Amino acid sequence: MLTKNMEAALNQQIRVEAESSQVYLSMACWAEVKGLEGIAQFMYKHSDEERMHMLKLIKYVNERGGHAHITDLSAPETEFGTFQKMFQKLYDHEIFVSKSINELVHVSLEEKDYATHNFLQWYVAEQIEEEALARTILDKINLIGNDKGGLYLFDRDVQMITVESAASGTAE
């Protein structure tokens, strides 16, 4: 059984994950209209993954005797300037999500809710991978600079980059 404090904290994370999905979706739309099909596909896929993270939390809250709440969401940005700036925003957003997950873990320890603490370890590991992925992409973007040929190759290759491959340092 979840305490009210733990339930509230988990519901806040549900909102964070939902907004993350929206951020990626907005980035996908921006990339797609700019002709960056590979980047768009990458962002669509990650939007779906963030939604799955949200659903996993919803199921957990409801199964533990709480009530998951679906709330209004803040609208994401729709303009990113350059693909470099967009990926920097993505990285910054992943840092924000990691801090949010860490705060949630802290609440689970304060509440002595070890079942939730155990459940959240998946999210802790996932965020390490998400940050590694964003850093890997930023490193590749910095190598490209303003080279249009490099952008073309990056756009094609980014579809192949996954969270797992970034964490291990290999492409799939």
Provide CB contacts within 8 A for 170, sequence distance 6+: none
| 50 assigned binding-site residue | yes
- Report the alpha-carbon distance of residue 80 to residue 82 in Å, rounded: 6
CA distances, 171 to each of 33, 64, 96, 160, 164 (Å): 26, 38, 26, 7, 9
| 94 assigned binding-site residue | yes
Do residues 53 and 129 lie in contact, with contact meaning Cβ atoms separated by under 8 Å?
A: no
| 19 assigned binding-site residue | no
| 127 assigned binding-site residue | yes
In one-letter notation, the amino acid at residue 169 is: G
| 7 assigned binding-site residue | no
**And the tokens for 22?**
């929206």
Task: Tell me the binding residues.
Answer: 17, 50, 53, 94, 127
Task: Tell me the binding residues for Fe cation.
Answer: 17, 50, 53, 94, 127
